Amino acid sequence: MRIISLNAWGGRLYEPLIDYVSQADADVLCLQEVLRAPGADEGWSIYRDGELELPQRANLFAEIGAALPGHDGFFCPTSRGELFNGGTAIAAEFGLATFVRKSHSVIAQGLDFVHGSFSANGWGEHPRPRNAHCIRVFSHQLASSLTIAHMHGLRDPTGKSDTPAREEQAAALVALVERIWPGNEGLVVCGDFNILPDSTTFPILARLGLSDLVTSNSLVDTRTSYYLKQGRFADYMLVTPGVNIARFEVVKAPEVSDHRALLLDIG
């Protein structure tokens, strides 16, 4: 089973992103920073936050779904706000997306907020709402099930250091996983956590028996050349001891976001 976690960056590198997800052969694709705008035209739009303007794909969820016809897609919104196409405002949702190959069976799932609550009338104040999605997937090829959770951790404008909100976020993620994971099968937790490697988030997740594959492999960079700031950790993938790791990679190429994809093959 192949699991890929990636911050999709709102589709800013749209064509390389679509090519990558089409060819990467993921059984479970965990995406953060995905947009959905039902009824709006596909194509480019602009996200505005004060003087900041960013190009975004308003219907990225549908576009990735079209590129993965053999997968079921689950969209998990955190907020609903406005994007702009010229002078026209587009109502769009922002959140997580999980795509699961149809030959696998999703036998349980849970979705909840790990910070804040759904913002229906705008993107929300910083740090904005964040959620996590947890699924149990039965592999008929392996004749076994696996629990997978991913999260987009809150972004704090002051940085990635520990805060009470981040500790509460980690505890909320553990609580969500405990609702779905039976404890007697493998567990994978991944995503863009927006934290540093010495964060107290990791001891909290260790209560589930999880250990991180990024830091334990002495990797020092989960960002691409499109990320120009310091502090090049953001994305993590954690597993319990029962997960049979055939391959783990922080993907250097192609660059499809300002984040690198995390790829895990399980035997």
Query: Which span out of 3-12, 86-95, 120-129 was modeled with the highest average pLDDT?
Result: 3-12
Q: Which sequence spans correspond to the domains of the chain?
A: 2-266
Domain 2-266 has CATH 3.60.10.10: yes
Buried b vs exposed e over 15-51: b needs ≥16 C-beta within 10 Å?
eebbebbeebebbbbbbbbbbbbeebeeeebebeeee
Per-residue pLDDT band at 20 (split at 50, 70, 90): very high
Closest Cα partner for 187 from 246, 242, 142, 141? 242
Which token pair is 52?
């900041």
Q: Which helix (H) or strand (E) holds 214?
A: helix 213-216
What contacts 38, CB < 8 A, 6 or more positions away?
none
Residue range 198-240, pLDDT digits in tens? 999 999 999 999 999 999 988 778 999 999 888 788 999 999 9
Quote the mean pLDDT of the chain: 96
pTM of the model: 0.97
Per-residue pLDDT band at 40 (split at 50, 70, 90): confident
pLDDT at 81 over 80: yes
Closest Cα partner for 233 from 173, 193, 189? 193
pLDDT at 230: 81
Cα 101 from Cα 110, distance rounded (Å): 18
Residue range 104-149, pLDDT digits in tens? 999 999 999 999 999 999 998 899 999 999 999 999 998 999 999 9
Q: Which helix (H) or strand (E) holds 6?
A: strand 2-7
